[in-house]
């Protein structure tokens, strides 16, 4: 015989003994008077009110670790922090090859060539070099044109001198100024462009290097002022001259 899964509960004989069905809670009803609201989460304090500081990320910096800028303390008692070569003050804490690039007309390649010709270590600080060695570097700089090929000098095939010199220091700026004055004097295209303050090497001038007249709003205001001045001049010229009275 198959048992019925859904059995009906037998009704009690006495209706008073029947249990009361529980009341369904209202959906919109709020919490009861005795119910406690959940407390808000307390945020950690800032500054002095913070109980526990955050742990530092990464490893702690060691007391003897070098910082961003480390001061060089040389052991040489005759160390010079400023070395003067070709009328230029150079930083004595830099390597010789890099320090020589501070002279106008001397790049890294020329500086390395000077160090090889003078038999000086290019990585040695220039402040540690004795005075005779520094004088030898300056002498080598002055005679580079005779010791280097023509394609390495900065003034190859000089027409006025008839040679291929290599200018360094203040001499390079003086020679550059003289070259510009010569171009202006012979009225070449480059000289005229230098006189007018325009681009010399064929750059575009439509959007860059605009000089002279104002553009934009100022140009519009200038046009309005010119139109107003033209209107004032028109009536004055149109009025006929008054005839002279006979006496």
List pLDDT tens digits, range 161-201.
Answer: 788 899 999 999 999 999 999 999 999 999 999 999 999 99
Domain boundaries, the chain: 82-149
Q: Which pLDDT does position 43 carry in this prediction? A: 61
Record the pTM: 0.54
Question: What is the distance between the alpha carbons of residues 222 and 228, in angstroms, rounded to a whole number?
Answer: 10
Q: What is the DSSP letter of 246?
A: P
CA distances 155 to 178, 185, 232, Å, are 13, 20, 61
Regions of the chain where pLDDT drops below 70: 1-72, 213-218, 236-247
Q: Which pLDDT does position 4 carry in this prediction? A: 55
Residue 125 corresponds to which tokens in the numbers above?
């600080």
Q: 82-149 domain in CATH 1.10.10.10?
A: no
């Amino acid at each position: 015989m198959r048992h019925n899964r859904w059995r009906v509960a037998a009704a009690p004989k006495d209706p008073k003994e029947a249990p009361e069905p529980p009341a369904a809670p209202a959906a919109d009803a709020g919490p009861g008077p005795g119910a406690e609201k959940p407390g808000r989460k307390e945020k950690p304090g800032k500054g002095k009110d913070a109980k526990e500081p955050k742990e530092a990320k990464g490893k702690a910096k060691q007391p003897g670790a070098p910082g961003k800028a480390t001061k060089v303390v040389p052991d040489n008692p005759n160390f010079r922090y400023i070395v003067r070569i070709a009328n230029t003050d150079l930083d004595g804490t830099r390597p010789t090859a890099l320090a020589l690039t501070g002279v106008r007309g001397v790049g890294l390649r020329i500086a390395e060539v000077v160090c090889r010709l003078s038999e000086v270590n290019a990585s040695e600080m220039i402040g540690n070099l004795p005075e005779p060695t520094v004088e030898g570097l300056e002498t080598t700089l002055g005679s580079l044109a005779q010791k280097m090929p023509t394609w390495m000098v900065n003034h190859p095939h000089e027409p006025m001198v008839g040679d291929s010199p290599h200018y360094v220091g203040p001499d390079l700026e003086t020679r550059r100024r003289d070259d510009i004055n010569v171009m202006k004097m012979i009225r070449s295209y480059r000289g005229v462009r230098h006189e007018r303050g325009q681009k010399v090497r064929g750059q575009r001038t439509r959007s860059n290097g605009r000089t002279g007249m104002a553009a934009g709003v100022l140009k519009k205001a200038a046009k309005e002022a010119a139109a107003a001045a033209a209107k004032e001049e028109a009536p004055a010229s149109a009025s006929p001259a008054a005839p002279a009275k006979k006496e």
